[in-house]
A and B are shown apart, each in its own frame.
Chain A
Amino acid sequence: MRKIVMFLGAVFLLSTGVQAENTEYLITGTKPGFIHILDMKKQKVVRSHEIPNAGRTVFSFAPSPDGKIVYVLTNRMKSIVGLDIDTGEQVFRADFIKGDIRRQAFYAFDISRDGKELYVYQLSTRIMLSEYQQLPTRIAVYDTSSGLKAEPIRTFEAPRRIHMLMKSTDDKWLYALGFDIYKMNPQTGEIVETLPLRNWSLKNRSLPDVLDFWPLWDQTDIFSTPVYSVKTDKAADDPGAYKTGLMTLDLDTGKYEINDFEDTSVLIFSTVVSPTGKHAFGTYTQLTKIDLETHTLAGRIDQDHTYYAVNISADGKQVYVGGAACDVATYDPDTLTKTGQIFLPKGCGDQSTSSMRMIQRETLK
Chain B
Amino acid sequence: MIITNPLVPLMHDPVASDPPGLPEDRNVPLTGEPLLEVRFAVPAAPKAFVRRPALAARVTEGVRGPLTLVSGAAGAGKTALMGDWARSGSVPRAIAWVTAEPRDTPELFWAHALEALRRTGVRLRPEVPAPARGHGVDGSFLTRVAAALAARAEPTVLVVDQFDGLAAGGIADGLHFVLAHANGRLRLVLTSRTDPLMPLHRYRASGDITEIRNADLVFTAAEAGELLRVHGLDVSPACVELLVQRTGGWAAGVRLCALAMQRSHDPEAFVREFDADRTAVADYLIAEVLNAQPPATQDLLLRSCVTDRVLPDLADALTGRQDAGWTLARLAGANAFLERIDGAGCSGGAWYRFHPLFAEVLRAHLRYQHPGLEPRLRGRAARWLAEAGHVDDAVAQAAAAGDWLFAAASVIDDLAIARVADGWQTSAFARMPADLPDAACALVTAACRLAAGDIDGCAAGLRRADAGLTDSADPRLLLGRAVLGMLVGRRTGDPAVGDQAARAEDLLRRVPQRLREQHVTAVVSVGLGAAELAAGHLDPAEAGLQAAVAACGCPYAEAPLCDALGCLALVELLRGRLREAEARASEALAKARRSAVRGPPTGLGHVVLAAVAAERDDLETARAELGTAHASARPPVEPLVAVQAAVVGARLATAAGDWEEALALLHGAELSLRTAFLSDWEVDELAIAKSVAHLAQGDADAALAVLGPAPAGRPEHTVAEARALLAVGSGERALALLAGLGDDRSSTAACLAEARLLQAEAAAASGSPCEAERRLRQALELARPERLRRVFVEHGGPWLRQFLRQDPQLARAHAWLPERAVGSPPLGARERTPTPITPLSDRERDVLVQAAQLSSNEEIAAALYVSANTVKTHLTSIYRKLGVSRRRDAVRKARDLGIL
Instruction: Verify that A and B bind, or say they do not.
Output: no
Interface residues of B (CB under 8 A from A): none
Interface residues of A (CB under 8 A from B): none
